[in-house]
Amino acid sequence: MFIKVVKKNNGKFSVRIMESIREGKTVKQKTVQSLGVCVESDLEDIKQVAQDLIIKLQNKRKPALPGFAEIVYGKESPKKQAPRKKKKSAAEEMFSLTSLIEKARVIHGFEGVCSNIFDKLQFNKIINGTYKDQQWNELLKVCVLARIADPVSKKKTTENLALDYNQELPLEKIYRMMDRLSKNIDKVKKTVAENTLNLFNNEVDVLFFDVTTLYFESFKPDELRNYGFSKDCKFKETQVVLGLVTNSQGHPITYELFPGNTNEGATLIKVIQELKKDFNVRNVVLVADRAMFSNKNLDLMDKEGINYVVAAKLKALPKEKKKELLSTNYTPGVVFDELQWLNEFEYNQRRLIVGYSQKRAKKDRSDRQKLIDRLMKKVKNNQIPLKSLISNYGTKKYIKVNKAKAVINRERIKQDEAWDGLHGVITNIKDKNKFEILERYRGLWRIEEAFRVNKHDLKMRPIYHWKKSRIEAHIAICFLAYSLSYYMVHSLEQNNVRMSLKKIKEHLKRDQYSIIEDQNTKKRFKIPSKNTEEIKIIYKTFGLSRTTEITLLN
């Protein structure tokens, strides 16, 4: 790779990272990444940034190792010599094809794979203190596996278990198990945290923290379910607030459940108190979104000796500080393979690091224009009737009320444009440069992905329970399912197999067997489905075997 600088007619310079590619006998130059346009005084800085970026890009390109074939799904294996015909088994000799009838078709993949992982992670020891611990933990396993396979209500789960898994399980038994699970929530959190630590050799240097809301199909508030600001825009339903902590890879560490009317910023204090029980918090960096940006939270973390990187609310800073941010020159650098312009400031004896990104600026402009376009559709005679206004702060901030009418606030739009592309974080870390600090914060997307998995893949919400103990147990079941799911994905990645949770579920659902009955003899046989390459890979990754033989059940 090399740097190409082109002087434009306006006197400015275009900087690109180029690469030479051979196509037959011809060598062509291809643009790898454009670093934009700059003036001559910034040219040397941009060229240095480009050189740093070339090193990062080259390090990412790992050469193929000899002897390691790429795993390609869907292709047939090379043809082998046809094996000799095996002698028929006793099971095959014992029935007549004309008298066979299928009694059940059972999905086996989750039992075959996830059940083993459930035990390996010690989830089968979570409920204790009763004379039926083993029975309750088996029921817990069924519910966790069902949450991964088909995340539905507990009532619907019992129907699916009967139809697809050949298991008859009374709904009342699930509820009784949940009542016992609710008394072991601390054991759930401790077991999951230990598994995550073991998976990463007890090396945890960064913890990500964020908050979301989970709504109910209910309108009656109580001590836990309550009304509050809903991130799902379900303002008429009651909700709870969930605070989640993960490591830098998105694997679960712990969580806390709060009443639905809890302010986001108030959740951090309790989470830190809980983390101190199991972690040496002085050895980790806590990364959080701007909802945690308050003097109370920052003072608490300083007092506890916790290193932190928290998104700053730049537009809420004092007037003089905002003026300083907008009038200061910024230095170019690479953050997560992206050219950004950075500067560092002091705020309340802490480091305030602010960066400008062209990608962020483009997104900010696009988001604002969408809001303005929505408002423009309602304009009549250069005014907007108040009754037609959208009850959304993001839209309302761009209007100015004038008696019974409203007009678009052009001055406010212009003020917002000055902040396009700017983002800042506040930190108390002294020994890292501003580029490293911002890279730490950029990893916060991992926890956003974790919320997506919990809300969509595992359907943690809506919640259909109303008793506090059942709500807590439902969240615990989802948390265990989330932990097991990430363990599967991670284990496959360690074996050079990239497979999303969605794909894993698809393949495990195809791992089935039929129960066939001979009407003449009443004997029953178990016949496995086709053993695909993907299923073989999954079983092999976890050291498991899958039979392909027909077996006699009775």
Query: What tokens does 202 get?
Result: 């007890």
> Per the domain annotation, does 544 fall within a domain?
yes
Whether the bond into 462 is cis, omega within 30 of 0: yes
Range of the domain at 532: 90-100+513-552
Same domain, 527 and 427: no
> Per the domain annotation, does 374 fall within a domain?
yes
Same domain, 328 and 421: yes
* pLDDT one digit per residue (tens) for the chain, 554 residues: 888 888 888 888 888 888 887 777 777 888 888 888 888 888 888 888 888 888 777 766 644 433 333 333 333 444 555 566 666 555 555 556 778 898 999 999 999 999 999 999 999 999 998 889 999 999 999 999 999 999 988 999 999 999 999 889 999 999 999 999 999 999 999 999 999 989 888 777 788 888 888 877 766 666 676 677 666 666 778 888 899 999 888 899 999 999 988 888 888 888 888 887 777 766 788 999 888 888 899 998 998 888 999 999 999 999 999 999 999 999 998 887 889 999 999 999 999 999 999 999 999 999 888 888 877 777 666 666 655 555 555 556 777 776 666 777 788 888 899 999 999 999 999 989 998 899 888 888 888 888 888 878 888 878 888 889 999 999 999 999 999 999 999 999 999 999 999 999 999 999 999 999 988 888 899 999 999 999 999 999 999 999 888 888 87
> Per the domain annotation, does 25 fall within a domain?
yes
> Per the domain annotation, does 11 fall within a domain?
yes
End residue of a domain, out of 392, 407, 431: 431
* pTM of the complete model: 0.77
> Per the domain annotation, does 232 fall within a domain?
no
Q: At what angle do helices 133-149 and 154-164 cross, to 10 degrees?
A: 90
Same domain, 37 and 94: no
> Per the domain annotation, does 461 fall within a domain?
no
> Per the domain annotation, does 427 fall within a domain?
yes
Q: How many domains, in total, are found in the chain?
A: 3
Same domain, 383 and 334: yes
Residues 58, 65: Cα–Cα separation, whole Å: 17
Same domain, 329 and 426: yes
Same domain, 94 and 47: no
End residue of a domain, out of 412, 431, 450: 431
Q: Where are the beta strands (DSSP E) in 113-226?
A: 206-215
Same domain, 26 and 96: no
> Per the domain annotation, does 203 fall within a domain?
no
Determine how many CB atoms are found less than 10 A away from the CB of residue 419. 16
Residues 364, 374: Cα–Cα separation, whole Å: 16
Residues 509, 164: Cα–Cα separation, whole Å: 10
Q: Which of 314, 291, 313, 312 is nearest to 418 (CA)?
A: 314
Q: What is the pLDDT of residue 264?
A: 83
